[in-house]
Amino acid sequence: MHEVSLFEGLLLWSSALTHCSCYGVQVIHVEHLTKKFAAFTAVDDLSFTVSPGHVTGFLGPNGSGKSTTMRCMIGLDHAQGGSATFGGVSYSKLTQPLHRVGTLLDAGNAHSGRSARNHLMWLAASTGISKSRVDTVLEQVGLSEVSRRRVGKYSLGMKQRLGIASVLLGDPEVLILDEPVNGLDPEGIRWIRDLLRDLAKEGRTVLVSSHLLSEMALIAEELVVIGQGKLITQCTVIEFTGRYAKKWVRVVSPQVQILKSLAVAKGATTSEENGAINFYGVTAAELGELGATAGVTFHELSPQTGSLEDAFLDATASSVQYHGVQSEGSAH
């Protein structure tokens, strides 16, 4: 009886120890990070925190400093000021960093003349990871059958999968991925979406940058939004869209023109859309009351909120450095 309880105790202790060492609280703290290239300031006194347990989206227009920030976080670029720590420790002081932080900065960072398996083999050898783990991650990302093919023959999507395999190789607690869905087909996008969510659910810290805002809306729970190297906001996706996205009320009614004239008189603006009228600057309740006093029949009265993309464009409008010429249609 005594032996059994001691054994159970040891099991519990070792399980707790394993759990703590694998998925301990690995908060990423970026504090006053500053990176300059000659006179150009790419990252300007940037501070944010990334917590474990959910996916954090890292958003910003082109040239806003997302990739530079990620490179500075893992010591590839030397920051002129500030710091980035993982559970309180800077990346350069992590022992066996591949086991602590997995990074994918560019899917193209693999020698085109080397096979995918050999690419992972040298990476594994540098930190004493076994060959069987290489085969496991190749299986996990779906590249087992083509693992002996040279990377130069891979499509962008396959390179992306190889990059993700290298991130998973050390089974890290923190994952930092720069545009991981670039080049992936719909099945691949769904796969990585589920993978990142599952990894976050396991208690890992996941920071993902992406330009595909619709995808980010599905993956991320929290956002860090930057522009011109500065923090614009850090909040949840719901808070972000609530704060920055446009809100309007969609109305379908046989007497919609009466309602329109009443609402405009109260300062609202309108636009037409497929037989419905969108009202801006007025709430659904106010429109309902206005309609009731005028005897308007409503077929639809629904409050609407803009997408994450709309919110992002609004939030970063003053930070966009590179503009394209809008076509007449899109401008309209």
Partner 1 sequence: MLRLMKSEFIKLRTLRSTLTATIVLIVFPVAVTVLSAMFAKHPNETMVIKVLVNTGMVSLLLCGVLGVFAIAQEYSQGTIRITFAATPLRMKVFVAKALVISLWIAVSVAVLEGVGLIGANYALHSRNFGFGVIYQAVPGIDSAWQVLFAFAAVCILFALVGFALGTLLRSSPGAIATLILVPLLVEGIVTGLLIAAFDIDISHKTPFTAAIRAVQVEPDAARWGLVGYFSIWCLVITVFAALLMKRRDA
Q: Which residues bind to partner 1, rule: CB under 8 A?
A: 71, 74-78, 91-92, 94, 97-98, 103, 105-106, 108-115, 118-119, 121-123, 125-128, 166
Q: Smallest distance from the beta carbon of 214 to partner 1, in angstroms?
A: 28
Residue with tokens 């429109």: 287
Integer-rounded Cα radius of gyration of the chain: 25
Burial category of 234 from C-beta neighbours within 10 Å (exposed 0-12, middle 13-18, buried 19 and up): middle
112 or 214: CB nearest partner 1: 112
Q: Smallest distance from the beta carbon of 94 to partner 1, in angstroms?
A: 7
**CB neighbours of residue 164 within 10 Å:** 26
42 or 237: CB nearest partner 1: 42
5 or 92: CB nearest partner 1: 92
What's the rounded Cα separation, in Å, for the pair 73 and 122?
A: 23
Q: Smallest distance from the beta carbon of 105 to partner 1, in angstroms?
A: 6
Q: DSSP assignment of 244-285, as one string?
A: HS-EEEEEE-TTHHHHHHHHHHTT-EEEEETTEEEEESS-HH
What's the rounded Cα separation, in Å, for the pair 247 and 303?
A: 7
74 or 207: CB nearest partner 1: 74
Q: Smallest distance from the beta carbon of 121 to partner 1, in angstroms?
A: 5
What's the rounded Cα separation, in Å, for the pair 194 and 206?
A: 13
Q: Smallest distance from the beta carbon of 90 to partner 1, in angstroms?
A: 9
Q: Smallest distance from the beta carbon of 122 to partner 1, in angstroms?
A: 4
Q: DSSP assignment of 291-327, as one string?
A: HHHHTPPPSEEEEEE--HHHHHHHHTGGG----PPPP
Helices and strands, counts by H and E, the chain: 13, 14
* Residues forming beta bridges with residue 150, ordered by sequence position: 115
DSSP state of 74: T
109 or 319: CB nearest partner 1: 109
Q: Smallest distance from the beta carbon of 109 to partner 1, in angstroms?
A: 4
83 or 109: CB nearest partner 1: 109
Q: Smallest distance from the beta carbon of 127 to partner 1, in angstroms?
A: 6
Beta strand 174-178 with 247-252: parallel, antiparallel or unpaired?
A: unpaired
**Helix (H, G, I), strand (E, B), or coil: what is residue 55?**
strand
Q: Encoding tokens for residue 266?
A: 């109260």
Within 8 A by CB and 6+ apart from 189, the residues are 181, 215
137 or 223: CB nearest partner 1: 137
134 or 290: CB nearest partner 1: 134
